[in-house]
């Protein structure tokens, strides 16, 4: 079921794909996609002719990525972004969709940056997407901004089961953001199951990330922006060069 929730909540995002295609065309192969999930970015780049390695810590998502990758040049690897050894160096390493903000603070980011540096070719580029700021809201309306600002649920039907993922709140904390959702399934015979999902994004600025990257032997190489959409926050993509 993790595949369905991942696809429902993340799989439809496409605003960043033109940037990843541009970077892959500019820097060449091979490409490493870290936090690949079911292959949203990796499969798109492979279908545009690139040789891609996709890495994720979730074996269920990686297995689904492998199934979908039939016929395209994608190697799927199940590993922790903070500790991997692929015995290959890459021209480009991507970390989309705020994955860097899930790694356990500065210590976790440092471990990833060190791994990424060890896997980059000389002059290779690491591109990391971060969310600098999120607007808080609560479905109960106590944000004072009006009920209409609460996003609509993401919904799909699979094998007679209706899946609904409703964003319910973003809570701003001093050192991060908490994203809350209500996941609901309704079976063909009307049985209903509801559970809450909670994800915490650690706060990190582009300047902080660049300072941490320097300590890992990476040099700042500019920043790019991915605009927000009606359903997804915008992001800053921090570029780092080996």
**What is the chain's pLDDT, residue by residue, as a tens digit (242 residues)?**
689 999 999 999 999 999 999 999 999 999 999 999 999 999 999 999 999 999 999 999 999 999 999 889 899 999 999 999 999 999 999 999 999 999 999 999 999 999 999 999 999 999 999 999 888 878 665 444 444 456 788 999 999 999 999 999 999 999 999 999 999 999 999 999 999 999 999 999 999 999 999 999 999 999 999 999 888 889 999 999 99
Element (H, E) at 124: strand 120-130
pTM: 0.92
Instruction: Give the whole-angstrom CA distance, residue 115 versus residue 190.
Output: 48
Residue given tokens 């015995």 in the structure block: 87
Which two structure tokens, joined as six digits, stand for 120?
């980059």
Residue ranges of domains in the chain, CATH in brackets: 2-132+205-241 (3.40.50.150), 137-200 (2.20.130)
Instruction: Give the whole-angstrom CA distance, residue 55 versus residue 33.
Output: 6
Closest CA to 15 of 216, 224, 240, 239: 224
Which two structure tokens, joined as six digits, stand for 157?
């039907």
């Amino acid at each position: 079921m993790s595949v369905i929730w991942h696809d429902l909540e993340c799989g439809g995002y496409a605003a960043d794909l033109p940037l990843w295609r541009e970077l892959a065309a500019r820097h060449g192969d091979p490409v490493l996609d870290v936090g690949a999930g079911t292959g949203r970015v990796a499969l798109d780049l492979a279908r545009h002719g690139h040789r891609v390695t996709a890495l994720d810590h979730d074996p269920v998502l990686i297995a689904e990525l492998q199934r979908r990758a039939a016929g395209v040049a994608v190697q799927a690897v199940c590993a922790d972004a903070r500790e991997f050894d692929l015995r290959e160096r890459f021209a480009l390493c991507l970390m989309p969709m705020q994955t860097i903000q899930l790694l356990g603070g500065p210590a976790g980011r440092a471990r990833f940056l060190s791994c990424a540096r060890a896997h980059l070719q000389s002059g290779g580029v690491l591109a990391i997407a971060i969310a600098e700021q999120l607007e808080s809201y609560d479905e109960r309306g106590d944000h004072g901004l009006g009920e209409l600002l609460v996003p609509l649920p993401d919904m799909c039907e699979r094998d007679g089961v209706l899946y609904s993922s409703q964003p319910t709140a973003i809570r701003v904390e001093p050192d991060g953001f908490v994203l809350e959702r209500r996941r609901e399934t309704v079976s063909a015979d009307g049985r209903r199951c509801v559970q809450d999902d909670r994800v915490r994004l650690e706060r990190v600025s582009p300047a902080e990330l660049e300072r941490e990257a320097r300590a890992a032997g990476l040099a700042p190489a500019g920043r790019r922006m991915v605009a927000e959409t009606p359903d997804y926050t915008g992001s800053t993509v921090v570029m780092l060069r080996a």
